[in-house]
Amino acid sequence: MIVGVYPGKAEMQVINKLVRLVKTVAMHIDSDEAMAWWLTKKFGGHLFSIDPDVKFEFRSIQERLGAEHWAKLETLVIGSGGDVYDEHVSGERAREEKQCSSTKAARHLGITDPTILRIAEEVCRYDYGTGCPKTHLGTLLKIFRNKNRATGKGSDDITSMTALKWALQVIDVVYGATANPEGKELKNQMPPFGEFVDRLINDDLSNEFTDDDALCGLRRAIADDRGKADTLTLENIFRCLWQTSEETQARKIGEDIKDHILFALSLIYWDQQSFHSFKREMLAVQNTPTSPFFRVNGWCEGRAFQIMVAAVRTPNRHAHSVLRSMKAQVTVVEDENGHVTIMGDKRAIGFIDEGFVSMAAMLRYSELDDAKRGLSSWSLLSVRGSCPTTPEWYLGDVGWLLIANGTDNFKDVPKTKLTLQQIIRICRDAFNPNNVRIWKEKNRVPADRAQEALRETAVSLREGPNGLDSLGRVMDAARKS
């Protein structure tokens, strides 16, 4: 039984007027959003009235229109849109600290059950994409989305609904087993998880799993996560499925559970195959004239060093990790939609962090029209996060070697007009202080243009209150720059 704060009969007469009717749900296939929906269905009856024929739209919504707007449309938006389960402060990047859709849902619904809070916090911890186990529900659903994109299905409603139903069943089973740890006597008949997986691979999947590298990666992922305390890893899901089964025959239980585990194993195998097939492709061209790898000369604290850079155009979601596994310290990847991400190996952060800041400034400068170049200071072009004058390029925070244009996490960023070759040339210049100085000189404003810009600003400021004071501040800022 869930422990929570619920209204009495007198309060319900008032609250009933505020209960939201939900006929449509907009969400991503992700562990935090799946759990938020599970919580709403299971424990949200005092706040939501869910239509039996509720429809799903598998997408995120950029505009933060607010909960009142979506309530009028009888729509619940999970994880975006500014609705009650949206953890983002603005757009899709800035987030409330230690919050995700599942923790927001638990708080909004007034849930205090420690079992639910523990699962929600685990989902939230891995929703930030750091250290998530390879067999965790969060990883499995991310692989599912990548597979859909790679096979051209995008946010296909049929396959997305299949994955959502599977995730909801998993969360339900794990909650039931975790809340009642005693389980049934049948758990004594449960086979070891590794043995169960081996039997599935050898008997049911031998004709499908033919890539030795991918199969080895699958077995390694299972072994790496064995014995972990997380509630939503595949091994614990297997144990919970077994423990909560209503059947009395161990053999029959195994047959029912098999479909759940097969779904997960197929995803992990596909992911490993995607990684290894791309790595084989890169190895084949690594030492050829068309190699995507090249070295860049740089300087740091008075001494020279070399950086290995790799730049590719590919839809493969493993591109950055594959290129890093081949000793690239800076990776540039353009996806199938023309969006670019540039990432750095954190082991080289002392050498390349400053270069990443310079690279972001150069990219932003190159993005500007000729008439606007030089009107933004170099410090403004180097700002972390989004730059107001050139929103095309997002620079990650200190210690996060990332420059992003678009991609799933930065959809509100306009697509760059720069070609991959132009970006590569900028990458070659960014780590050399002499080249950076040349770029800074290019950004200097000619005196006549600077004076004209200041005059235009002064005219507009004189028309407002405190015009002279404001003009003085502008002139001071111009002199300091």
Tell me which H or E stretch contains 294: strand 293-300
One domain for residues 417 and 454:
no
One domain for residues 361 and 472:
no
CA–CA dist 213, 315 (Å, integer)? 21
Tell me which H or E stretch contains 23: strand 20-27
Per-position b or e across 400-426, b if 16+ CB within 10 A of its CB: ebbbbbbbeebebbeebebebeebbeb
Mean pLDDT of 192-216: 89
Q: Compute, in degrees rounded to 10, the torsion defined by CA atoms 467, 470, 475, 480.
A: 180
2 domain-assigned = no
The residue that leads in pLDDT, 443 or 52, is: 52
pLDDT class of 219 with cuts at 50, 70, 90 = very high
156 domain-assigned = yes
One domain for residues 181 and 115:
yes
- What confidence tens digit (pLDDT) does each residue in 68-109 have? 999 999 999 998 888 999 887 654 445 566 788 999 999 999
- Looking at the predicted structure, is the pLDDT value of residue 370 above 80? no
Residue 218 CA: distances (Å) to CA of 100, 215, 269, 322, 448: 29, 5, 6, 16, 64
- Looking at the predicted structure, is the pLDDT value of residue 125 above 70? yes
- The number of angstroms, rounded, from the C-alpha of 140 to the middle of its chain's C-alpha atoms is 13
- Looking at the predicted structure, is the pLDDT value of residue 259 above 90? no
133 domain-assigned = yes
- Looking at the predicted structure, is the pLDDT value of residue 223 above 80? yes
Q: Per DSSP, what are the bridge partners of residue 334?
A: 313, 340
What is the secondary structure of 402-450 as a DSSP string?
EEEESSGGGTTSPPP-S-HHHHHHHHHHHT-HHHHHHHHHHTSPPHHHH
pLDDT class of 154 with cuts at 50, 70, 90 = low
One domain for residues 366 and 387:
yes
CA–CA dist 234, 245 (Å, integer)? 16
HEC per residue, 34-69: HHHHHHHHHHCCCCEEEEEEEEEEECCCCCCCCHHH
Beta strands 75-77 and 20-27, pairing class: parallel
Angle formed at CA 282 by CA 276 and CA 285, multiple of 5 degrees:
145
280 domain-assigned = no
Q: Domain total for the chain?
A: 3
Mean pLDDT of 181-196: 70
One domain for residues 373 and 471:
no
Type of residue numbered 329: Q
The residue that leads in pLDDT, 328 or 5, is: 328
Domain range spanning residue 456? 447-480
214 domain-assigned = yes
pLDDT class of 478 with cuts at 50, 70, 90 = very low
One domain for residues 164 and 17:
yes
One domain for residues 133 and 261:
yes
Question: Would you state the pLDDT for residue 49?
Answer: 95
Question: Helices 467-480 and 447-462: crossing angle, nearest 10°?
Answer: 160
CA–CA dist 128, 405 (Å, integer)? 19
- Looking at the predicted structure, is the pLDDT value of residue 176 above 50? yes
330, 389 Cβ separation under 8 angstroms: no
One domain for residues 352 and 238:
no
- What confidence tens digit (pLDDT) does each residue in 385-397 have? 888 888 889 888 7
390, 364 Cβ separation under 8 angstroms: yes
One domain for residues 312 and 413:
yes
- Looking at the predicted structure, is the pLDDT value of residue 28 above 70? yes
Please count the CA atoms within 13 angstroms of the CA of 169 that sit on its side-chain side.
16
Angle formed at CA 320 by CA 318 and CA 58, multiple of 5 degrees:
50
72 domain-assigned = yes
CA–CA dist 133, 36 (Å, integer)? 21
338, 325 Cβ separation under 8 angstroms: no
Q: Report the chain's mean pLDDT, rounded to a whole number.
A: 81
Tell me which H or E stretch contains 163: helix 157-179
Question: Would you state the pLDDT for residue 452?
Answer: 56
Type of residue numbered 167: A
Quick one: tokens of 313? 């155009």
Quick one: tokens of 393? 């390029």
Which of 184-198, 294-308, 465-479 has the highest mean predicted lDDT (pLDDT)?
A: 294-308
- What confidence tens digit (pLDDT) does each residue in 283-306 have? 999 999 999 999 998 876 677 888
The residue that leads in pLDDT, 161 or 353, is: 161
One domain for residues 220 and 326:
no
One domain for residues 86 and 148:
yes
416, 394 Cβ separation under 8 angstroms: no
CA gyration radius, the chain:
27
pLDDT class of 441 with cuts at 50, 70, 90 = confident
CA–CA dist 163, 157 (Å, integer)? 10
395, 360 Cβ separation under 8 angstroms: yes
285 domain-assigned = no
Question: Would you state the pLDDT for residue 289?
Answer: 92
- Looking at the predicted structure, is the pLDDT value of residue 248 above 90? no
Q: How many CB atoms lie within 10 A of CB 81?
A: 25
The percent of residues in the chain predicted with pLDDT above 70, rounded, is: 78
361 domain-assigned = yes
Q: How many residues does the chain have?
A: 481
One domain for residues 193 and 316:
no
Per-position b or e across 248-274, b if 16+ CB within 10 A of its CB: eeeeebbeebbebbeebbbbbbbbbbb
The residue that leads in pLDDT, 241 or 399, is: 241
- Looking at the predicted structure, is the pLDDT value of residue 172 above 60? yes
- Looking at the predicted structure, is the pLDDT value of residue 448 above 60? no
